[in-house]
Structure 1
Amino acid sequence: MNTRAGTMAAHGGGGSEAAEIHEQRSLGFWLYLMSDAVIFALLFMTYGVMAGNTDGGPTGKSLFSLSNAAYETTLLLVSSTTFGFASLAAREGNRGAVLGWLALTFVLGAGFVFLEVREFLGMIGAGAGPDRSGFLSAFFTLVGTHGVHVSTGLVWILIMMGQVMVKGLSLPVTSRLFRLGLFWHFLDIAWVGIFSVVYLPGLM
């Protein structure tokens, strides 16, 4: 705790003004997440309407792999846990542990993106691209949007690792790490929805 307090004081992050800025930015980020949730809700609704519009083409049952979706889910859920450990390490002022947990989170997230891209390429190669039917167009849009968000989160993780290495665990850095955590956990929730609404019903 003393180490953390000293680090924050050294960077001028212990004042009430800095804490107030942190609160304001956190509120603003919550508003962003709410708008993002609305976007995903609209994409889920669109998929629900278009799920049966296969135009005589392949359905989810013939395209989806439960094992691949399960691997993706496991990677993303475990990455949420490792990010939680990074947040705990930041509270303790343990910079080395923060970097280690963030690196592991990045590897898990990158594995998720790899599996998703492989799935997309396999479907497109089999003639089941987003232009094949309304069902596939809605599928690629919903799942692809989530994948873009995860990729953005990976870039953000790398940026945060650089800031932790250069600036330490000052209040501005830990504040950004907190917001990144909100974003990453939000993606987990969105993926659970995709797994439950897209993959499981599609395989039944």
Structure 2
Amino acid sequence: MNTPDTHQGGESDLVQVSLSALEHYAYCPRQCGLILLEDAFEDDAATVRGTLLHQRVDTPGNRGRHTIRTLHALPVWHDRYGLTGICDTVELHADGRILPIEHKSGRYHPGGPADIQAAAQAMCLEEMFHRPVPDAAVYSAADRKRHPITVDNTLRTRVVELARTVRVMLSTTQLPPPVADTRCRNCSMATGCMPKLLTGTRRYQQALTDLYRPHHPTEDA
């Protein structure tokens, strides 16, 4: 299985990046920064639905069904890439196939952030079980369908690159700028983020200039 290379040596010293952070950053870097750097998170109807969905599937344990054993809330990690997280569901098939299934309350968007999270789960499972995991799936509660994902090299590279980017953000503690686009309409954190106020407004740019302009007090005559 070909996977992206990382630097050699010192991998265990990498700052751990959660799989959920990869999805947040892929959706909106600023949202990820607000959550990780400022410990900010606001619930709305969508996030509550997601929480309730995960409460149903995230009870640790395993169940058997015919030739498939199903694991729930399985902790996973990848030391070389500095990844850690929890798989909602992992199916262990009798033929040796391993299938991670990420559960989402909303609709599935092909090629979206959920694919990143599911692919990262597959990569972690490969590390833990020492066997290829070429496929994953995203279950959408909105349409009650399981959407298959091929964990190819393009997706794997995206996971590794996002992990590095999130790690840089954590080390610099620099909050990404707001985007102020259609993503903000359905974001529970839009109020605290203030995207429209902070993007490209002359007043905001002037405030930044005034804030960081060196102050030279005038000398008394």
Structure whose residues are more often strand by fraction: 2
- Note whether the superposition's TM-score is higher than 0.5: no
Structure whose residues are more often helix by fraction: 1
Q: TM-score band (shorter)?
A: under 0.3
Larger RCO, structure (CA 8 Å, separation 6 or more)? 1
Work out which of the two has the higher radius of gyration on C-alpha atoms and give 1 or 2.
2
Given the two structures, how large is their TM-score scaled by the length of structure 1?
0.25
